[in-house]
Amino acid sequence: MNLRNAARGRECQVRLVGICNGNPDTTVLAHYRMSGLNGVAMKPPDLIAAYACSSCHDAIDRRAHVDLDRDFVRLAHAEGCFRTIAILIGENSLKW
């Protein structure tokens, strides 16, 4: 399953209060970046990502809403990753 394509039309799982636009037409797969998972020109695996609307994705990537506390945004993104994985498991899209 192509998780990047599967993000289209999905509900945002990051859900930054006051930021999230709630528009599934803007949802993309937002990769969680952390040491050991990514590097220069290298994204983390698609499984370590969240369905995120364009507004939440902009906050995650610090293109907008830079006034938000970085740790708060990272926590919301991590929780979104967990919710996204739970959705995929519930849909039997992930095989163990």
Q: Which residues are catalytic?
A: 31
Kindly state the greatest CA–CA separation across the chain.
Answer: 40
- Angle CA 93–94–96, to nearest 5: 145
Question: What is the H or E stretch that residue 74 is in?
Answer: helix 70-90
